[in-house]
Chains A and B, each alone.
Chain A
Amino acid sequence: MHIYSKKNLLALLILLSMSSCEKETNVDISKNPAKLVVLGEFNQEDDALINLSTSVFSTAKGAFPDVEDAQISLLDKNNTLIEKYTYQSKGNYTGKKAMTGQQYKLAVNYNGETYQAQTTIPSAFNLNLIEQDASSLIAEIVDLSLEINAYTFEILAKPFTVDRYYLENGQKIKVNSEAEFTELLKIKPNLEPKRDTTFNTKFSRIYIETADNRTENVKYNVLKDNSGRIFLTDKTFNGGKTTLEIYYQNLLSNTANIQYVLVVKSTDPVYFNYLYSSDLQAAKSLAGITDVPIKGNIVNALGIWGGAYVKKIILKN
C-alpha cells in the first residue's frame, strides 16, 4: 500500500474511533435571588472595615451592587453594644480596632432583617524574622497560648510613591529624585530634604512556598504550585514557638517603589477554613472545576466576618 493511502486510511480510522464532540451549556445564575454579602476582617492591628454588597454581578453597574443603607452594630459576647459602624463609601463601613482575646458579635440591619455573626480574636503571639535573603525567609512564631490556633502567612507587595521636596518660605519645592537632592545639598547645605510617602490602598499578594510538612499546603498539596497563602495549624507547637521557612521568587530586590510586608495572622477557626476554601476554590477554578464549597459565619447571608490577631514585619532589601 502506498504510504499516502496508508495515512489516509489511518486518518479515517482514527477519526472514526476517536471522534468525539463537545456540548456547551450555559446556566444563567443571575436570576437567582440576590443575597446580602458581608465581608470583613476584624483584628487588633487595623481599623475595622466591613463591606456590604449583594451577590450576583450586575452588568449594569459593572460590579456587585454596594449596600449603603444598612446599620452595623458591634456587640460584645453579652450582646452589649460597643459601637455602631460608620458608613464611608462603596459599601464600606468602619469602626474601631479589635481587642485581643475578646469574643464579638456583629449585627447588620438591612431591609428590615437582622443578620448576625460572631467571632473571636485569638490570643497574642510574637512574630520574629530570624533570617531573610533574596529567595527565602525564616519566620518565628512565639505563641504561649494553649489554644489551638490557626495561622496564615502571606507576603504583601504594596506599591508606594515618594514625593521629595524641601520647604522654602513655607512653600513645597518639588525635587524629582534623590540624586537631585544630593546635588542641591552641595549648593545649599542648609536645605532640609523632606519626603511624602503615599501607599497605594491596594496590594498584591506574592506567591510563596514552603516545604514544611506541617502546613496544609504541603500536607494536602492541592493549592497548586504557588499559593498566595501558607496555612498552618499549630498542633505541633501549642504553647511554644516554632519557625517556618518560606520561599519566594527573587522579588524583594525591587523595593524602590514596593514595600514587602510579611503578614502572619492567627485566625478564628471558621475564618481559617474560609480562607483555605477561598484559595482552594481559586486554584481549582483555574482547571475548570467549580466544586469547592465555602462556609462563612453570617447567619442567613453570605460572606465572612473573620477574627484575627495580626502581626506584620516589613521586609527590607
Chain B
Amino acid sequence: MTTGNKIYFFLFLILVPVFLNAQNRTSLLNTPVKLPVRKGHISYFLTQVEQTGVLLTYNPDNIRMKRQVSLSGRIKTVGELLEEVLRAESVRIKEYEGKILLISNPRLITISGIIKEQGSGEIIIGANVTEPESHSTATSNGFGFYSISLEKGTYLLNITHTGYDPVRMEVDLENGNIRKDIYMKSGLDLPELKITKSTEAQSNLNLRGDHVDLEEAGKLPSFLGEKDVVRAVQLYPGVAGNSGGSVSMFVRGGNADQNLVTLDDISIYNINHFNGMFSIFNPDVLKSVDFYRSDFPSKYGGRLSSVLNIRSRDGNMEKYHGHATIGLLYASVGLEGPIVKEKASFSFNMRRSWLDLLGAKALENAGLFYYFSDINLKLNYIADPNNRFYISAYLGSDAYRQKTNLIPDSTNTQKDYRSTLKWGNRLIAFRWNRILSPRLFKNTTVTFSQYTNSFDSKEPLIIDALPDKIYSTVKDYGIKSDFNYYLRPDLKLNFGGGVNLNSFIFPAVFTSSESIKINTLNFNAYVEDEVKIGDHAELIAGLHYAGFKSGKTTYHTLQPRIRLSYRLNENQVLTASYSKMAQFIHQFTVNGFSFPTEFRIPSGRYIKPEISEILNLSYRLQAGKTSSFTIEAYYKEMTNLLALGSGQDIANGYFAKKIEDRLVPGKGISKGIEFSYVQQFNWLRFQMAYTLSKTTGQFKALNLGESFPLNQDFRHNFNIAANASLGKRLGISALWTYTTGQHITVPQTIHKSLDDVLGNISAPNTYIISGLNNYTLSSNYKLDLGLNLTRKFRNGHERIWSLGMYNAIANPQSKTVLTSIDNSTTHVYILEQDKLKLIPYFTFTYKF
C-alpha cells in the first residue's frame, strides 16, 4: 500500500463515526436554498427552509428558537443549513415520507465517580461498569474514574473487576447528573466469588493490551525467589528474552530498546538491577501493569515495539500496613497508610541487597562486590471530590566494585586500586487529577527522569589507558495532559499532549573524558475516539502526532492507530488493528552490567526516526467462564532501523567517535502467529503461550547488504506456567520455557589469505561466512519450580515462605558466546559462557 493510499485508508476509518452519524442525504435535504441574511434566530432559518417548499416537522419546545446563529460556511442546500443551524441543539435530522423531521434526542443523565477498594481507598483501574439491558459499558481509567450516560430511568449497574467481589448498584436517574464513588471488596479471600479475567472479558469487548495479573505473577517461581513483574510479561506470546534469565524483552522482533517502560507515567531508560537479572520494579509497590504489543493506544509514542505501563500503589487511606521480606539477595520493607484519613496517604518501600554487608573487602578482592538499593515513595492528597494530587518518586542505585592488584616496581609503589561501576535511576512525578465535568476527566503530569552511569577506575598513573572517570547520563523533563471525554454512551474521546526536554551526555571515546552532549525537544499530541457501531462492532481510531527537534533538525510524524473489533457472539471476538509508531531516542546498551560507553542517541541530522507499522489480527474465544483462547497474527515492518556498524563494540570500547559513524541504518520485518491459552479453576491456574515468528533485517552496510536473521529472531517460543493451591496454606507453581537458540555467526569455510600470497610472514587465514547469524545454537529451555507456604493470622497479619528451584532442568541462553577456528582440525569452536545453572532459593515475608 502506498503512503497516499494509507492516508486515504486512515481518513476513511477515522471518519467512519462521522459517516455513521450522518443522516441519509436524500432529495429533500438537497433542496437548494438561498439566504439573503447570514445571521439570525434559529426560527428565522427554519422559516427560510419552509419557504423552499420543504415541510418541516418539529417540537418548538425542544429547540432554542430564539438563539442567534451566524452561518460560517457556504450554505447551498437545506441539509447543510439545518446541519449548521442545529449543530448545538439536541435534535436529529431525518427525512421521512416527504417531510423533514427534527427529532429530539433523549436527555442523557451521567453517573460518574471513582472506583475504589473497600477498606484501603486504593483506586481500581480497569473495572467495568455495565448496564445489562442497554449493553452500555464504561471502564474505569488509569485513575479509577468512570462515567456512564443513560437515559432517564432506574437501572441496575454491575461493577466487576478481576479479584474483586462484584458490586450491583441500583441507580435512579431522574433529575441531574449523579456523582457516585463505588467501593469494591477484594475477593482474594473468597475464591468462590473471584471474578476471573475470563468472565470479565465477556462483558468487555474491547480489551486492549494485556493487564498483568499481579497476584498470579507473584506465585510463579523466580530467580533467587525475587518476584519480578517483567518475568510475568515475558510469558506473553510474542515476548522473548526469558531464556537467558535476564529481564530483557524482545517484543515481536523488536530490540530491547524498543520498549516504552513507564512507572507512573515517567519514562525509564534502564530497568536493570543485578546484571540484568532483576528489574527496578519492586513487586510490593505495584498496583497495575498494562502491556501493549499491538493495538497501541494513541496516547503512547516514542518506541516501536511495546508499551509497559506500570502504576504504583497510592497507599492505604484507612489503615497502616507494612511488610518485611528477606531473601537470598536482598531484603525489603514497606509501609503504607493514611496521613489524613480518607484525604491523604503515603506508600514507602525500600529494597537493598545485603551480601556486601557481610564482607565488602573479600568480595572486592574476588571481583564480586555488588549491591543495589531502591526506594519508592508515593504521596497522594484528595483536595476535594474533583481534585486529587500525587507525588511519586523512585531512587535506585547499583554498584559493582573490584580490586585489581599490581606488582610494585621502581615506577610504581601502589599495590592495588579499585574500580567502581555505578548506575541508577532517579524518577519523580507530580500529578494532578481533575474531574472537569461528569464526562470529562483530566490528568496533568509533570515528570523528571534521570539515568546515570559512571565508571570510576581510580587506577594509578602508570596505567594511563583510561581516564579517572567516565560517565553517561540522560535527563528527561516532561509535562503532559491527558483528557478522557465520555461524549455519548457510544462515543468516548481521548485526547491530550505534552512536551519532553531531553539531555544526553555520554563519552565520545573510551580513552578520554571527552563527552558528547545533546539536547532535544519532543512534543506530541493525540486524539482518539472509541465508537460503538451497532451491537457487535467497536472502532477505535486515533492519531498520534510527534515532533522531535535535535539541533537544527526537526522531524514531524503522524502515527495513525486503528482498531476494529467485531463480536461474533457473546464468547468470540475478532479484532483487526493497524498501528504506526515512531522512535526518536535509540539506545545501544551493554546487556547486564551497564557501562557508560553504552549510549542513547536521539534522531538528528544524520539519524532518522525509526518507524514501525504493525498489522494485527486476533481471534479471542471465551470458552465458558474458566478458559480463554487467543490466536493472533501480526506483520511488522520497521524502517530506519539502527544497528551498530561492523566491528563497533561498545562493551570493549571500540567504537567510532562520531555517533553517525557507529551506526548503520536498515530495515526489518517481523511476522508471526501467537497462541495463548488460560485455564482458571479455583484451585489451579494454567497458562500457555506459543509464538511462531520470523524476524529479519537488511542493512546496506552489514552482511554485504543482504537480509539476515536479527539477534531477536526466535522461531519458536513456548512457555507453560501453572499455579496450584493445595489447601489454604500451600501453593505450588511450575514454569516451563522453551525457545529456539540464539543466532550466532560462524564461518562456513576457511582459506589461505591474500597476505600469505603477497608474502606476509604472519598472515592469519581468511574465513568465509555465508551471512550474519547463520548458525543457531541449541534450543534453550528451563523448568522452574516453586512452593509458597502462606499462613494468615487472626489479626490479619500474614507470613509467607517461598522456596524453589530456578533452572531445575535447563539449558539456558548464555550471556557470552565466543567462537574461534581450530585450523588443525578445521573445526569452529563455540564456547557458550555464563549459563546459569540450578539455583535454589528461599524468601521469607511477613505482612502486617
Contact = CB atoms under 8 A, between A and B. Distances in A.
A222 B649 contact: yes
A17 B328 contact: yes
Nearest to B832: A23
B751 A303 contact: yes
B224 interface: yes
A25 B830 contact: yes
Interface string B720-759: 0000000000000000000000001111111111111111
Q: Chain A: interface secondary structure?
A: mixed
Nearest to B819: A290
A304 B655 contact: no
A41 B754 contact: yes
A160 to B, nearest CB: 13
A22 B833 CA distance: 5
A304 B754 contact: yes
B358 interface: yes
Nearest to B744: A291
Interface string B813-837: 0100011110111111111111111
B767 interface: yes
A26 B828 contact: yes
B751 A10 contact: no
Nearest to A6: B358
Given A16-B840, A220-B656, A290 B646 contact: no
B132 interface: no
Contacts of B756: 39
Contact of B766 (A41, A56, A278): A278
Given A26-B828, A57-B750, A49 B757 contact: yes
Contacts of A64: 751-752
Contacts of A34: 749
Contacts of A51: 752, 757
Contacts of B840: 16
Interface residues of A, number: 74
B768 A282 contact: no
Nearest to A222: B647
B416 interface: no
Given A17-B224, A22-B832, A29-B828, A56 B655 contact: no
B648 interface: yes
Nearest to A157: B761
A4 B47 CA distance: 101
A84 B359 CA distance: 76
B784 to A, nearest CB: 15
Interface stretch (A111-119, A169-177, A187-195, A196-204): A196-204
B410 to A, nearest CB: 22
B18 to A, nearest CB: 54
Contacts of A21: 835, 837
A27 B830 contact: yes
A291 B820 CA distance: 11
B362 interface: yes
B647 A290 contact: no
B750 A224 contact: no
B707 interface: no
Interface in B50-101: none
Interface stretch (A123-131, A244-252, A292-300): A292-300
Interface string B162-200: 000000000000000000000000000000000000000
Interface in B752-792: 752-762, 764-769, 771-772, 775, 777-778
B832 A10 contact: no
B826 A28 contact: yes
Contact of A13 (B355, B657, B745, B772): B355
B646 A9 contact: no
Interface-centre pick from B746, B752, B762 (highest chain A CB count, 10 A) = B752
A93 B655 CA distance: 41
A254 interface: no
A170 to B, nearest CB: 35
Given A6-B358, A220-B661, A291-B745, A57 B839 contact: no
Interface-centre pick from B355, B751, B756, B777 (highest chain A CB count, 10 A) = B751
A35 B647 contact: no
Interface-centre pick from A13, A27, A35, A41 (highest chain B CB count, 10 A) = A27
B645 interface: yes
B753 A278 contact: yes
Contact of B826 (A13, A16, A59, A204): A59
A274 B819 contact: no
B191 to A, nearest CB: 35
B368 interface: yes
Contact of B819 (A13, A59, A288, A293): A288
B499 interface: no
22 contacts: A6-B359, A10-B362, A19-B837, A20-B835, A22-B834, A23-B832, A23-B835, A25-B830, A27-B775, A29-B747, A202-B760, A205-B760, A221-B509, A224-B654, A278-B755, A282-B764, A288-B818, A293-B768, A294-B767, A295-B704, A302-B768, A306-B754
Interface of B: 224, 328-329, 355, 358-359, 362-363, 366, 368, 509, 645-649, 652, 654-658, 661, 703-704, 744-762, 764-769, 771-772, 775, 777-778, 811, 814, 818-821, 823-837, 839-840
Given A22-B835, A23-B814, A202-B761, 6 more contacts: A29-B827, A35-B751, A56-B750, A57-B826, A204-B762, A221-B509
Interface of A: 6-7, 9-10, 13-14, 16-30, 32, 34-35, 37, 39-41, 49, 51, 53-57, 59, 63-64, 92, 201-205, 213, 218-224, 274-275, 278, 280-285, 287-295, 302-304, 306
The 9 closest A-B pairs by CB, nearest first: A288-B818, A222-B647, A291-B745, A30-B826, A55-B751, A25-B830, A27-B828, A51-B757, A37-B751
